[in-house]
């Protein structure tokens, strides 16, 4: 055989499963996942979301069994979204003592005290118009909405939420919520800020699950333009300065460059939200036999870790926990 020129032998480290395992740079663990759950008002309700196979709206009386399964799989964190039966112009169901998230939080902290409860802090599921704040002249009033969001956060902390996760994208929301929590005696409760949240087409199935579709217009005046990258760093920097403890990037799959930018620029845990549209596309392709769901999901979630995510909010959490235990 003709003498070959000198070159690197990279394949040496790919020669077997064991060899690949010892040099693997990023790993998935069940502790990395936060599992989203939709709590609906009523009794004996377990509605599968049509656009999200395997995801359910669950009433409070059935929630214990659902959380028990999550807990037994080794998943340490859940994030709750409320689905109330009644809504109004100011989203009052978000901050009442017996709100859906508040009741779910009390139940879980009583039955599973070591389970971390993350409370989604927004008004969109509770407003009759479906927007994330108070409406004046067909626009969301930033500062008036902040008052209600702070009230919501304190109510959730009083119910026992371990982490407050404001998702509204109002300017100044971290500062106002941090101040309100501190004044109410909840200095120890961290804020997991939806620091970088794009106005994305990937949210469609979630709005079916949470019944939160805007009744007019869209959310482009407060959520970010998908074309922008530098703006994401401005948004994240503001939240860091205002007191955020975690930084969420949402969506994840099409925004891994942003995940890496946030990780490189800020010394806080980064959370990637693997959103509903990303979930539903994979489920639809799997149900049609077009992909290997397990391999694809593990690959894409590993990509989020590789991009810099410390934690991942994902509807695949239960599936992946089962696969990792095999």
Q: Under DSSP, is residue 178 helix (H, G, I), strand (E, B) or coil?
A: helix
Give the model confidence (pLDDT) of 126-160 as tens digits.
887 766 667 777 777 888 889 999 999 999 999 99
Residue 259 CB neighbour total at 10 angstroms: 26
256 vs 273: CA distance, rounded Å: 11
What is the reported pTM?
A: 0.93
36 vs 202: CA distance, rounded Å: 16
Is-catalytic flag, 197? yes
157 vs 127: CA distance, rounded Å: 21
Q: Cβ(196)–Cβ(232) under 8 Å?
A: yes
Which of 254, 215, 255, 209 minimizes the C-alpha distance to 235?
255
pLDDT confidence of 251, banded at 50, 70, 90?
very high
Any idea how long the chain is? 326
For 112, counting Cβ atoms within 10 Å of its Cβ (0-12 exposed, 13-18 middle, 19+ buried), the class is: middle
pLDDT at 212: 66
pLDDT at 134: 73
Token pair 């994902």 in the structure block, residue: 314
Is-catalytic flag, 305? no
Domains assigned to the chain: 27-325 (3.20.20.70)
pLDDT at 132: 67
Give the model confidence (pLDDT) of 104-113 as tens digits.
999 999 999 9
Choosing from 64, 76, 110, 197, the catalytic residue is 197
Query: How many angstroms separate the first and last alpha carbons of the chain?
Result: 45
151 vs 135: CA distance, rounded Å: 17
309 vs 121: CA distance, rounded Å: 21
Token pair 């790919």 in the structure block, residue: 14
164 vs 153: CA distance, rounded Å: 6
In this structure, what token pair is assigned to residue 243?
């007191």
Give the model confidence (pLDDT) of 45-97 as tens digits.
999 999 999 999 999 999 999 999 999 999 999 999 998 878 787 787 888 99
The percent of residues above 70 in pLDDT, for the chain, comes to 94
pLDDT at 280: 96
């Amino acid at each position: 055989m003709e003498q070959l020129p000198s070159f690197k032998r990279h394949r040496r480290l790919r020669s077997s499963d064991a060899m690949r395992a010892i040099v693997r740079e990023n790993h998935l663990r069940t502790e990395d996942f936060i599992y989203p759950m939709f709590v609906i008002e009523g009794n004996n309700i377990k509605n599968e979301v049509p656009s999200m196979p395997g995801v359910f709206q669950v009433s409070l009386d059935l929630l214990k069994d659902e959380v028990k399964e999550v807990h037994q799989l080794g998943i340490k964190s859940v994030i709750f979204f409320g689905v109330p039966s009644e809504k109004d112009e100011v989203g009052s169901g978000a901050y009442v003592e017996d709100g859906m998230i508040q009741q779910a939080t009390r139940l879980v902290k009583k039955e599973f005290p070591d389970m971390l409860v993350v409370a989604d802090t927004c008004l969109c599921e509770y407003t009759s118009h479906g927007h994330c704040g108070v409406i004046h002249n067909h626009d969301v009033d930033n500062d008036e909405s902040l008052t209600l969001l702070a009230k919501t956060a304190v109510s959730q902390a009083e119910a026992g939420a371990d982490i407050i996760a404001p998702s509204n994208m109002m300017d100044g929301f971290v500062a106002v919520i941090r101040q309100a929590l501190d004044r109410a005696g909840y200095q120890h409760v961290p804020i997991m800020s939806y620091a970088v949240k794009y106005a994305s087409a990937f949210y469609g199935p979630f709005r079916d699950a949470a019944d939160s579709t805007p009744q007019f217009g869209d959310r482009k005046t407060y959520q970010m333009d998908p074309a922008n990258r530098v703006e994401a760093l401005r948004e994240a920097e503001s939240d860091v300065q205002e007191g955020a403890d975690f930084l969420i990037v949402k969506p994840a799959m099409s925004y891994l460059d942003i995940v890496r930018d946030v990780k490189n620029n800020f010394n806080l845990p980064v959370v990637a939200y693997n959103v509903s549209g990303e979930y539903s596309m994979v489920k639809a392709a799997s149900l049609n036999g077009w992909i290997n769901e397990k391999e694809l999901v593990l690959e894409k979630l590993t990509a989020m870790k590789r991009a810099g995510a410390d934690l991942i909010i994902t509807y695949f959490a239960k599936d992946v926990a089962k696969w990792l235990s095999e």
